[in-house]
Amino acid sequence: MNQINVLFVCLGNICRSPMAEGIFKDVVEREGLSKHFNIDSAGTSTYHIDKNPDSRAIDTCEKKGIILCHKGKEFKAVDLQNQQYILAMDKSNLENISKVFSTASYTAKVLLMRDFDEKFKGQDVPDPYYGGMDGFSDVFEMLERSSYELLHYIRSEHSI
């Protein structure tokens, strides 16, 4: 069976999307499904290419037993062909992705991350970059809730 490719996307790829990548990997691993997935993240800007995640994102995840091993990279048109699921952290990044896929052929399902957060469908995962640690903790909780629902959705689509 081919692996299911999942890509999380935010603006700079140092806060929300690497957190989502790490959390989703953890959820998938807990369910014993790691062999079925290739999970990554990217940013729609080039601000933080090859940079580590924000130290507050790293600290927040480490407190929950999740180690973030990621270097910032840019979302590219080829991702629309290589990924099966692309999860935007907010409507602004969904719009940025839409600009790319308006000129590219693609097979990926492009979705908003919080569409998998039962009580908050359609809302953004707020960018915690300019705030304090509480913002990172709040984002962690949102991403964790959404990750379980996302996995349930993908499992139902792929019978795994």
15 flagged as catalytic = no
Active site residue 16: yes
Q: Catalytic site residue 127?
A: yes
What is the residue range of 88's domain?
Answer: 4-158
Please tell me the total count of domains within the chain.
Answer: 1
Amino acid present at 93: N
Q: Which one of 79, 90, 117, 127 is the catalytic residue?
A: 127
CATH number at residue 62: 3.40.50.2300
Catalytic residue among 15, 16, 61, 79: 16
* Whether 11 contacts 34, CB under 8 Å: no
Element (H, E) at 53: none
Cβ of 69: how many Cβ atoms within 10 Å? 11
- The Cα–Cα gap between 109 and 127 comes to 23
pTM of the predicted protein model:
0.96
List per-residue pLDDT tens for the chain, 160 residues long. Answer: 589 999 999 999 999 999 999 999 999 999 999 999 999 999 999 999 999 999 999 999 999 999 999 999 999 989 998 999 999 999 999 999 988 777 667 788 999 999 999 999 999 999 999 999 999 999 999 999 999 999 999 999 999 9
